[in-house]
Chains A and B, each alone.
Chain A
Amino acid sequence: MHSFGYRANALITLGVTVLALMCAMASLSDNLNFPTPSAQVQVLNVNWFQKQRNGNEEVSLTLNISADLQSMFTWNTKQVFVFLAAEYETPKNSLNQVSLWDGIIPSKEHAKFLIHTTNKYRFIDQGSNLQGKEFNLTLHWHVMPKTGKMFADKIVMTGYRLPEEYR
């Protein structure tokens, strides 16, 4: 500690170490938050449902997505990424996931929303398994922190069924 340089070096070293510690504690404090999100999705309409020339099936849906994700936000949350996936089982694969819609929620004020939309990404099955198929709509989310650990979870909504006939 005898010179300017030594003192500056010691200060920066300790300062950055303590900063890292504070960030670690901020990340750990996220574990004290127990979020209770809720989500509902209504399929308002099957706009069309047809077989493509290559044999794949494609559906267009109109959806009403309402969710309250405010409880996910803590002081260490930067943003929340959510996406809605259609999940169903086929003889070949036990789990098929097709992303229909996604969004980035930048703040707690935007975390309670109702969105009326057609599917943002195309709902295509690689084959022809969709006629009369029962499927789940699952809202997945990733809570992105300012520092530290990222959390991910989902809400599964069951009981949706596609029509038997192409339209």
Chain B
Amino acid sequence: MDWQGQKLAEQLMQILLLAFAAVSFGTGYLLGSFQMMMLIYAGGVVLTTLVTVPNWPFFNRHPLKWLDPSEAEKHPKPQQQQQQAVSSKKKPTKK
């Protein structure tokens, strides 16, 4: 699951659970049936679990694109001296 997918999964979970809670409470209260409220909410929790817990393909639509190692070699990191001036704690890397 990529970063965007994680965000989506969390938001989906919260929205779905709260929506099912509201719907089940309203239905239960109007029908005067506590059991109906519990059944609808239980169904909602199961559905939310199925939607947000497994690693579905639609959570992986934004994969991180890493540079190819050969590409990185062609463009070496910026000069170390400047970095050392900014933060002297960092270990000097090999030249």
Contact = CB atoms under 8 A, between A and B. Distances in A.
Interface of A: 1-2, 4, 7-8, 10-11, 14-15, 18-19, 21-22, 25-26, 29, 74-76, 146
A109 to B, nearest CB: 13
The 5 closest A-B CB pairs, nearest first, are A1-B6, A75-B32, A18-B21, A7-B53, A15-B45
B52 to A, nearest CB: 6
Interface residues of B, number: 27
Main secondary structure of the interface of B (DSSP, over half): helix
B92 interface: no
Contacts of B24: 22
Interface in B30-88: 31-34, 37, 41, 45, 48-49, 52-55
Given A2-B6, A22-B24, A26-B34, A7 B52 contact: yes
5 contacts: A1-B10, A7-B52, A11-B17, A18-B21, A75-B28
Given A8-B53, A14-B13, 6 more contacts: A1-B7, A2-B6, A19-B21, A19-B41, A21-B21, A26-B29
A2 B8 CA distance: 11
A26 B41 CA distance: 14
A75 B33 contact: yes
B28 to A, nearest CB: 7
A146 B34 contact: yes
A14 B14 contact: yes
A21 B22 CA distance: 11
Interface in B1-26: 1, 6-7, 9-10, 13-14, 17-18, 21, 24-25
Contacts of A15: 17, 45, 48
Contacts of B17: 11, 14-15, 18
